[in-house]
Each structure stands twice: as C-alpha cells, then as structure tokens.
Structure 1
Amino acid sequence: MSEKFLKEGHTVIATSLEIESLKSLAEVYDRCERESIDINDEESISETVEKVVDKFGRIDILINNAGVPAVGALLDIDLETAQRCVNTNVFGTLKVSKIVGLHMAKRGKGKIVNIGSVMGYASTPWAGIYALSKAATHSMSDTLRMELKPFGVQVIVVAPGAIKSNFATAGAKLVHVPEDSLYISVSKYIIGRASASHAPGSTSTDKFAAHVVKKILDPVSPKYITFGQSSWLFFVFYYLPVFIRDFVLSKMFGVGMIRIQN
C-alpha cells in the first residue's frame, strides 16, 4: 500500500525493524521516508512517532500492517511462535495505536487503519493462533473506533482475503508437523494451509492496494474494508450457523481425512 499512497502524491513514512528492506522503495520515490521501529518496544515507537511529528507536524493516517504468521494444529504449535504472533499482531498494533491515537486525538483528526483478516470472521483448522490474533485485532479496533470517534479520529479495519504476497512464504517456513502429532496423517493439509493465499485466482497486491487506498482516502472511510479472493466466503461464514461453518471448513482443510493412530 505504501507505493500506492506514493503514486497518489502522498508522503509516506515507511517503517520496519529491518530498515534496509525499505531501501528500494525510498530510492524510487522522493516522498518516501524510512524509519526503523520495533512495534514490540514502546520506547522505539515513541521515539519514531516523535521524530515524524517534529519533522512533518502531524500524522494523518496510521497503517498498522506489521504481522506475524502462525500455522499448525493448536495441540502442536510451538508456544514461542504463538506468543510472537499475538504479541506482534495484537499488542504491537495496540502499542502503536495508543501513541499515534493520542497525537491524532489532540489534533481532532486522523485515521487509524488496522490490518485484520477474513480469518477474524471465521477461524479455520491449522490457523487457530493467527485467527485468534486477527479476531482480537477486529475486536480491539471496534472498541477503539467508538472511543476515538468523539475526538474526530476514524478507525478502519482492513480484512484481506487471499492476496499474493511474501506473507504466505514466511508462514510456510514456520510450519512444522511433529512426527508424533495426532495430525500427521493430514500433514499435507497443514503445510498447504500456509500457502493457501497463493492459490490460483488470488488477488494481486496491486489490485488490493488500489481498492483499499481509495477507500482509506475517502473523507469518511468504511469501518471495515473486506477485499480479496474468497473474502466474501468468510464474510458469509461469519453469519452461518456454527454447525454448517464447522462442516464446510473441516471438509475444506482435510479434517475428515485424519486417521486415528492406535
């Protein structure tokens, strides 16, 4: 989305723990500034926000898009992986929102955009921790939206469907099915879950960014921007009776193929 904002003529302060990863973007666009930030460190967040405000005078839009994947059966998943996912996706987002939200509230204007997921609508087998983190992000954003509305600050949730990105690649590297797992017989489904967003028909990042940025730049943005391949399906799952949702998702992700080991 950073590139789309830049193409629209806006100044972007792109942040990352690994600032060198932003080098190519900054080299192409003069209006792109780079800043290093650790969203799990409040001091790092405060220093970066203060630096940006001192230089530019304000922050109009905050995009909380830092995210960590977590794929695996809940009984198998490494707790360190689970905690890293939740700490980054939920508490990291909250830490940045608190500091930037205070600045925006004092100005009486601003937008906070939190990247959720269609997984926040309906969890699937083999992605329980990630879904948990995104459901929490949705819930947190709903509360933040109500609490910041009196101060003129809008809070938007972006819930992507299947989008072609490097995120799935990162998730695939973290998947591990132990040899003694109860789910060893469906390991291919678990491993395949990590790259599900790269399935044929997945939405391109350019198309996704164009749609989302347009909505964010509207004077009054939607409270939820749900977009991307299969996103409509998860939106439907949210409203379906639980027994139907469980049946369909279990079939999609191979739960019925599990073989009980004696």
Structure 2
Amino acid sequence: MTVTIAKDERVVLITGCSAGGIGHHLALELAAHGCRVFAGVRTLSKAQTLVDNPRIKAVELDITDDASVDAAVAYVLAATGGRIDMLVNNAGIHCVGPTVELPLSQVQQVFNTNFIGMARLCRAVAPVMMDCRQGTIVNVGSASGYVATPWVGIYAATKAAVHAYSDSLRVELAPFGVNVVVVAAGCVKSNIVDNYSEPLLDDNNTRYTMARPAIEEKFGLSQVEGVTPTSQLAHVVVPKILRCSPPAYITYGTLSKSTWCVYFMPPVIRDYLLSRRYGTHQLAKDLQSPSPSSPATNSVIVWAALVAAALGTTYALFML
C-alpha cells in the first residue's frame, strides 16, 4: 500500500493506540490537525474505532518485539515514500504494589514496555529523521517521573528513565534538526488501569496487608471523578507538539503541576507529606512502630511543608 502524502501533511507513527487510551485520542486529534497517522496496536481489532477515519491507518505493532517494530516501521516507510515526520511513543503499562514485593518478572516486563520499548522505536525511527534533517519524537512520560510516590515505585522509575533518556536524546539529535518532547501527564482517565490484571498484593507473602486500602486508592487515583479526560489532554498537547520548535516538556493533567512543585521540596518534607497522603504514616502507627520524631518536630515539619508548598506553587505559577 502506498499513500499519497501532500508536502504540508505530517506522517505520524504512534504506539499504544487501543480504544480509550491516550494514544487513541492523540491519533484522532493529530488526524483532525491534518496529519497522516499510523496508529500502532498489538491487536488490530483494538483499533476498530480509528479505522473509519480516512487519515488514520492501523498498524500491528508490539513495541517489546524487535521484529514487530522493524516490520511496522518498514511498512510506514514503504507506504509514505520513506517519511516519518513524528514518532509518538505512548505505549505503556501500569505497575502498582510495594516495590520490594513485586515479582522481578513483572518489573522486567514494565521496563521492557515503558522504557526499552520506547528506546527500541527511537532506534528504528530516529535515523530516518536524522537523514532528513527534520522530525519530532514525542515520549509520553508522567508526573510520576518527577516524584515517585509510594506504591508505584517501579512505574515511576520507568517514567523517570523516559525523562532522562529524552533529555540526553534531545541534545544529541538537535544538530540534525530533530526535536524531542516529553509529555509528563498527570492523572488522566485512560485504559491503563482497565488493562491491569496483576494482583496489588501477594496475600501469601506480604508485610503490607494493613496498607491495602491505601494501595487500592493509589491504584484507582487516575480514574476518579474530576481527573483530566483523555480527549482534553490530546486537545492541549497536539498543537504544542506540532510547532516547529515544540517545548521540551509539556506537563499537563490533574495533579501534574503540583507534583512537579513537590520535586523542589527538601526530601524530609516531601517524604513526610507523601507518607501522610499515601498511608505509610498510618501503617507505621498500625505496626506500633515508635515515631522517629517528636510531636514538636512534626509540627515544625508541617509548617515548613506548608511554606515550601506555597513557595513552590508561587514559583510554578510565575514560571509556567
């Protein structure tokens, strides 16, 4: 199949475009902006809601498999006469649970999908852009890449790796005219939780039974009422990534900017706030552990946290 591409059209390859996810809505929004979109999905049936759009073509693509990536990229290049103007690395999976209790097989799977899969696509597509002296790579990170909260340490580690990789890649590709953008999404309603099937705790081998309510709350945080709709994220992000000189970071979504502000707090304050918010402070009480600090010290920390949070929020409002 060969597609006739106008000079003013952009050819976009997106990963992780199954129905209901961020990639799905990014594909629709990019098509609405006149792009020719190749929507990558592991199973073509999951892209049925996209195929009716004449500007979108579904492509079978498993980012954890070298052969699948090579075949998908070759297909797009053959169909467009050798063009991929934008790569959007969106595919990813969630990971929730006490960090030291997660099976290493699950840890490896999450890194292979969220980080190595992204690097695999960049390795396949970047040379094409470099030879053309133009292009944009968009890597979907997370506000969790700024601050790792309890119960999502492995997921946050993969997203921090995405951010770090992108920072290096951005400088390395700049001489070739290739842009690199990180989309640091906050709590966005998507299908990442719906597709999650791993147990939150191993009931036969866990020391966190009393923290189950906090873990379950964290697991569903991105799906509660009031979080950013996926279509809204796409509507905000797409015009920015289509700029000739897009921003290095786009931080958007519920709690994303407040999370970014927390990054600048002293660790002792940040840890105290996170322990209160995500249940580890209560867990210490339930385990009857002696408090490491006196009530007076706690009071000082609380006041310091409030001052730091106010300063951080003020800084963010003036700088963003």
TM-score of the alignment, normalized to the shorter chain, above 0.5:
yes
Aligned counterpart in structure 2 of residue 51 of structure 1, from 75, 86, 90:
75
Structure 1 stretches of 4+ with a deviation exceeding 3 A read: none
Deviation per CA, 1:76-100, whole angstroms, max 9, x where unpaired? 2122211111111110000100110
Say which SS state the counterpart of residue 207 (structure 2) adopts: coil
Q: CA contact under 8 A between 1:160 and 1:228: conserved in structure 2? A: yes
Q: TM-score, normalised by structure 1?
A: 0.96
Distance of 1:41 and 1:147 partners within structure 2 = 25
Q: CA contact under 8 A between 1:118 and 1:161: conserved in structure 2? A: yes
Measure how far apart 1:128 and its partner are: 0.4
Deviation per CA, 1:182-221, whole angstroms, max 9, x where unpaired? 1110101112211111223201111110000011011110
Which residues in structure 2 correspond to 1:167-246 (within 5 Å)? 167-171=192-196, 173-179=197-203, 180-246=205-271
Distance of 2:194 and 2:270 partners within structure 1 = 27
Q: CA contact under 8 A between 1:178 and 1:184: conserved in structure 2? A: no
Distance of 1:85 and 1:243 partners within structure 2 = 29
Distance of 2:103 and 2:288 partners within structure 1 = 22
Distance of 1:162 and 1:175 partners within structure 2 = 21
Say which SS state the counterpart of residue 138 (structure 2) adopts: strand
Aligned residue pair count: 260
The aligned residue for residue 260 of structure 1 is 287
Q: CA contact under 8 A between 2:50 and 2:58: conserved in structure 1? A: no
Root-mean-square deviation over aligned CA pairs: 1.4
Aligned counterpart in structure 2 of residue 156 of structure 1, from 176, 181, 196:
181
Q: TM-score, normalised by structure 2?
A: 0.79
Counterpart residue identity of residue 287, structure 2: I
The aligned residue for residue 251 of structure 1 is 276
Distance of 1:240 and 1:149 partners within structure 2 = 32
Tell me which of the two structures has the higher relative contact order, counting C-alpha pairs closer than 8 angstroms and 6 or more residues apart.
Answer: 1
Structure 1, unmatched stretches of 5+, are none
Q: Percent identity?
A: 36
Q: Structure 1's 261 and 18: CA in aligned 2 closer, same or farther, altered over 3 A?
A: farther
Q: CA contact under 8 A between 1:182 and 1:261: conserved in structure 2? A: no
Structure 2, unmatched stretches of 5+, are 1-25, 290-320
Higher-Rg member (1/2): 2
1:165 and 2:195 correspond? no
